[in-house]
Amino acid sequence: MTLYLFLTLAVVSVITALLMVFSKSPVRSVLYLILTFFAIAGQYILLNAQFLAVVHIIVYAGAIMVLFLFVLMMLNLNSDTEPQKSTVWKLTAGIASGLLLVTLVGALRGSIQISTPAEANGRVGLVENLGRVLFTDFVVPFEIAGILFLAAMVGAVLVGKRDLQV
């Protein structure tokens, strides 16, 4: 049952990701990517990481993709306005990424040995544990991320202001 669920979600996410890459209309690409994100959120729930799943939906589907959709609709970037790369380049890119896939899979094959700890703690994905770890062991990366946010906010304000003065 779990396996079938996993496989369904995996197939959905891969197919929608491919459609996202190959879709002609950018708006459709955005919508396909949203479906991919939903499939990945499903994987998170399967992994007992509900918090991660919901935050993933809020952050990606709720904020970032809306912004992308917004920009696409405002600028009305349709398929005919997008400059296409040459067929040779596309072929090369396809071969290169195919090679990368083969290399990665070859390198990873059989090299994953994981010993699961005896006492399985089902409450690992819960908010309390995550918060505790974030504010104790990972407090420095956490604060750095906060500073990054601040810098991005200041930058956004600056960009907006400059547009106003012109």
Partner 1 sequence: MLILLFDTALILEKSILVIVLFLITLGVAAYSTYGERKVAAFIQDRLGPNRAGPFGLLQPLADGVKFFTKEDFMPNAAERWLYILAPGAFMFVACMTSAVIPWGTQLTIFPRPVDLQVADINIGILYVMGFTSLGVYGIMIGGWSSNNKYSLYGAIRASSQMISYELAMGLSIIAVVMLTGTLSLKEIAAQQTGFNWNIWYQPLGFLLFFICSLAECNRAPFDMAECETELVGGYHTEYSSMKLGFYLFAEYINMFISCTIIATLYFGGYNFPGVDPGWLGGFMGPIVLFAKIFFFIFVFMWIRWTIPRFRYDQLMHLGWKSLIPLAILNMLLTGAGVLLFEN
Partner 2 sequence: MLESIRQIPIDYYVYLSTLLFVIGILGVLIRRNAIIVLMCVELMLNAVNLLLAAFSTYLATPRARSWCFSSWSWRPPKRRWGLAFW
Chain residues binding partner 1 by CB under 8 A are: 1-2, 5, 27, 31, 34, 46, 50-51, 54-55, 57-58, 61-63, 66-67, 69-70, 73-74, 126-127
Closest approach, Cβ 82 to partner 2, in A, equals 5
Closer Cβ to partner 1, 17 or 54, answer by number = 54
Given a contact cutoff of 8 angstroms between Cβ atoms, the answer to whether 134 and 142 are in contact is: yes
**Smallest distance from partner 2 to CB 96, Å:** 7
Q: Between 10 and 50, name the residue whose CB sits nearer to partner 1.
A: 50
Contact with partner 2 (CB under 8 A): which of 73, 117, 165, 166?
117
- In the complex, minimum distance from the CB of residue 112 to partner 2, in angstroms, rounded to a whole number: 6
Tell me, letter by letter, the H, E, C secondary structure of the chain.
CHHHHHHHHHHHHHHHHHHHHHCCCHHHHHHHHHHHHHHHHHHHHHCCCHHHHHHHHHHHHHHHHHHHHHHHHHHCCCHHHCCCCCHHHHHHHHHHHHHHHHHHHHHHCCCCCCCCCCCCCCCCCCHHHHHHHHHCCCHHHHHHHHHHHHHHHHHHHHHHHHHHHC
- Which of 17/27 has CB closer to partner 1? 27
Answer yes or no whether residue 145 interacts with partner 2 by CB under 8 A: yes
Site map (CB under 8 A) of partner 2, residues 57-96, x = contact: --xx--xx--xx-xxx-xx-x----xxxx---xx--xx-x
